[in-house]
């Protein structure tokens, strides 16, 4: 069974409750215990919370997910390499955090469920598995 990292772009849509296909897909992944979380996504979600009581609830929910552990310097080096290789190919990633998220997915052999266009060129040049809702 494939493990899936859900990108912040999908979590925002999921929590917004407006796209039923996304809600269903995320709920199914959660029910099947297929979801992993990495530090950059954990940070992005939590930094978007406005109120302390909501922050604590979200922290508890996210902490229940399986967390990917990696050496921070190894992760930074891997993300920088992704960014650098893409630049030599004429591709500039808008947010370097996306390279870090991609590195976590690649290094943990997990698929990435995203709604962010920057991950597609990464998948073109690296072994980044993209999760699609028909999986």
Domain boundaries, the chain: 4-130
Per the listing, tokens 């050496």 go with: 71
In this predicted model, what pLDDT tens digit does every residue of 16-68 receive, in sequence order? 988 999 999 999 999 999 999 999 999 999 999 999 999 999 999 999 999 99
15, 23 Cβ separation under 8 angstroms: no
104, 2 Cβ separation under 8 angstroms: no
Q: The pTM is what?
A: 0.94
- The phi and psi torsions of 50 (rounded to 5 degrees) equal -90, -35
Task: Give, in order, the Cα–Cα distances in Å from 18 to each of 12, 24, 116.
Answer: 10, 11, 17
Q: What is the pLDDT of residue 1?
A: 82
In this predicted model, what pLDDT tens digit does every residue of 61-91 receive, in sequence order? 999 999 999 999 999 999 999 999 999 999 9
Homologous superfamily (CATH) for 4-130: 5'-nuclease (3.40.50.1010)
Compute the distance between CA of residue 97 and CA of residue 7 in angstroms, rounded to an integer.
Answer: 11
């Amino acid at each position: 069974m494939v493990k899936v990292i859900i990108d912040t772009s999908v979590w925002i849509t999921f929590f917004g409750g407006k796209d039923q296909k996304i809600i269903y897909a995320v709920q199914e992944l959660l029910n099947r215990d297929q979801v992993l979380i990495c530090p950059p996504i954990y940070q992005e979600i939590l930094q978007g919370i406005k109120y302390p009581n909501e922050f604590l609830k979200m922290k508890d929910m996210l902490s229940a997910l399986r967390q990917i552990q990696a050496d921070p310097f190894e992760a930074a080096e891997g993300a920088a390499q992704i960014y650098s290789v893409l630049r030599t190919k004429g591709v500039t990633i808008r947010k370097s955090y996306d390279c870090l998220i991609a590195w976590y997915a690649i290094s943990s052999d997990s698929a990435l469920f995203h709604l962010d266009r920057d991950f597609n060129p990464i998948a073109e040049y690296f072994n980044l598995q993209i999760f699609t809702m028909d999986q």
